[in-house]
Copies of this chain bind each other. A is one copy, B any other.
Amino acid sequence: MGTQRFAGSAEDADLRRGDSLAREIFSDVANKWALLIIEALGAGTLRFSELRAEVEGISHKMLTQNLRMLERNGLLDRKVHPTVPPRVEYTLTEAGQGLRATVDGMCDWTHRYLGHIEAARSRFEV
């Protein structure tokens, strides 16, 4: 997969100004709950209750909304098993796995700059 140019590139300009679908998708997924769900599913298929336990602090409503949004955008598959009660499982699609790679990068960044950010905060609060 070729790497696109970014600095001042047409793609950047599209995303900020022009391409409304790209902007809409970016707006959908660029929120912490969606990204934490994607990350949790990176390890494999999970049920709703397992996801809720993995993504600490998420409400039932937020989890439902974000799962629906991610399914609608083709980032995860939702499978209902006809048991009693029904078992519902969520799995990342290939597109979802692609996004997960970028979330990994963001987690990596967070841990790499933890000390830097902590120091900046103490300076800022003086």
Q: Which of A7-44 contact B (CB under 8 A)?
A: 7-8, 11-12, 14-17, 21-23, 25-27, 29-32, 35-36, 39-40, 42-43
Given the complex of chains A and B, what is the CA–CA distance between A6 and B26 in angstroms? 23
Chain B residues near A112: list those with CB within 8 A. Answer: 1, 98
Interface: A63 (CB within 8 A) = no
In the complex, the chain B residue whose C-beta lies closest to that of A56 is B17
In the complex, the chain B residue whose C-beta lies closest to that of A94 is B116
Copies held by the complex: 2
* A–B complex contacts, Cβ < 8 Å, 27 sampled: A4-B108, A7-B42, A7-B43, A11-B111, A12-B39, A12-B42, A15-B39, A15-B107, A15-B110, A16-B39, A17-B54, A17-B56, A22-B111, A23-B56, A26-B32, A26-B35, A26-B106, A27-B32, A29-B106, A30-B30, A30-B31, A30-B32, A71-B124, A72-B120, A72-B124, A74-B116, A95-B117
